Amino acid sequence: MPPVSELPSCRRGATTARADSIAFAGPCSDATGLTLEHRQEPSLVLRTLRALSVPLFIVWASSWGCAQRDVRLGETGEDAGDDPRFTPIPGEGDASTDGANGDPPVNALMCIGTECPEGFETCPGSGVGYKCGVDLSRDPNNCGTCGNKCLYYASLHMNSRCVDGQCELECYNDVNRPGQFDMRNCNGAVDDGCEVNVLSDTQNCGACGKQCAAGDPCIKGRCGCPAGYVACTGANGKVSCVDTQTDDFNCGSCGHACTTTPADACNPMPLNTYYGCGGGVCDQIKCGGSSADCNQDLGTLGCQSDGCEVADLRTDRNNCGGCGIKCAANEQCIDEGYGYECAVPCARFGMTKCKQGCFDLLNDPNACGGCESRCRNAGPNEVRSCKKGLCAFTCLPGFADCNGDESDGCEVNLKNHPESCGACGNRCDIAAGQPCVDGKCLMAECDGGLPPQ
């Protein structure tokens, strides 16, 4: 084999290219594109080649070719072809990485956004003083567009709320309205609103379309009266279930009131007695209020009896809620929702008896840790609670107390405040006009000022 310097078409003095710190200089390139230059004497090169096995030498020598120009790795030559790339060329390769299915390409640039995205707007006079601070899809005062309010229609018993930018009507029951009401829109029409009170309507009793039997009233959403009671309509037009055996205003039948006193009435009257309805008949001597004839002598001795000697079944420890029911030493005669009975106050609920009633000292903010320990009122956008006897205050979702001042509660809306966007102190670029939208400083896809590739 001739010396390297005598290989055909090779030139001395070519440019050096480096790869992993191993340099070959010269005009001839191997199969990898690296060039080789003869820096040593031919005899030294030949001595090196002889040390290699013959097959390796043949393969290596046969892979050499001559080049007219040297090209640096990672650089562009006049005939080197396309520039090196580290991201796929749009339209080539894996479609999932170049914007398929509406996803942005992997090499998309994001810049500061200044225009309100769809569904958000800056509404003057809305009370939200931040750019793009109004969510038109949910704001009842700016529903779908600035100034479009979702209204309350009292005469129709309907309210409206903003859902996906549209005011949707719904039945509304005012808790401050006297009486019991559960208004429903049973005919499906909007013109008359929620026209039916299902607590009293016999054609829609408890639910739309549920009819009561003929003659049965609808009382508190149920048809008819319990056994032993009769449905009677009072002077105010209200229907109620009454016991005609004892009701002084419906004695024996609806509307028959006992208003007279018999000619042979007791004088003086026995203790805690009066004349009224008994056994469905008027002019019967009976106990008044919560008193009771526990020794049962009123019916036998009449005017000579001791009357209704138990003054009040609600307070008598020996006749608690009924004759002969005695309370233990540690019990009181109280009503905790099940009628008057003997019980340790508050014990059944795991509570403590305080002056104002029963309280859970571990969880009640009105008596947190002690009967007289009341947590302060919650501030704006704040919720107060009692946790294990200690007062606790938390912000409503999306709000934060960024200034540490309890007097103004959770004063920052993290969803639209440009100086505390998503978290206290997280500032958007206000000078550039970047708004805070849904808890994030707005970013928009852009080209970064670069020419398209």
- Residue 107 in this model has a pLDDT that exceeds 90: no
- Tell me the mean pLDDT in the region 215-233: 90
Closest C-alpha to 444, from 50, 87, 108, 62: 108
Q: At 56, is the pLDDT very low, low, confident or very high (cuts 50, 70, 90)?
A: very low
More confident position, 82 or 73: 82
Q: Measured in Å, how far apart are the chain's first and last C-alpha atoms?
A: 49
Assigned token pair, 100: 């398929």
User: What is the model's pLDDT at position 176?
Assistant: 80
pTM comes to 0.55
Q: Which pLDDT belongs to residue 105?
A: 57
Q: Which residues contact 301 (CB under 8 A, 6 or more apart)?
A: none
Say if CB 386 and CB 363 are below 8 A apart. Answer: yes
- Nearest alpha carbon to residue 9 among 32, 26, 31: 26
Residues 438/421, Cβ–Cβ less than 8 Å:
no
Instruction: Say if CB 277 and CB 245 are below 8 A apart.
Output: yes
pLDDT at 449: 58
C-alpha separations of 8 from 1, 129, 348, 425 in Å: 12, 80, 107, 72
Beta-carbon contacts of residue 351 (< 8 Å; ≥ 6 apart):
358, 359, 360, 361
Q: What is the pLDDT of residues 276-317, one digit of tens each?
A: 999 999 999 999 999 999 999 998 999 999 999 999 999 999
Angstrom distance (rounded) from CA 386 to CA 330 = 29
- Beta bridge partner(s), residue 218: 223
Mean pLDDT of 174-190: 88
Query: Residue 233 — pLDDT band, cuts 50, 70, 90?
Result: confident
Note the pLDDT of residue 106: 58
Q: What is the mean pLDDT of residues 327-338?
A: 93
> Region 321-329: what's the mean pLDDT?
96
Mean pLDDT of the chain: 80
Please report how many Cα atoms fall inside a 13 Å half-sphere around the Cα of residue 76, on the Cβ side.
6
Q: In sequence order, what are the beta bridge partners of 135?
A: 120
**Which residues is 412 bridged to in the sheet?**
400
* Single-letter residue type at 46: L
CB 270 within 8 A of CB 305: yes
What is the mean pLDDT of the segment spanning 157-170? 96
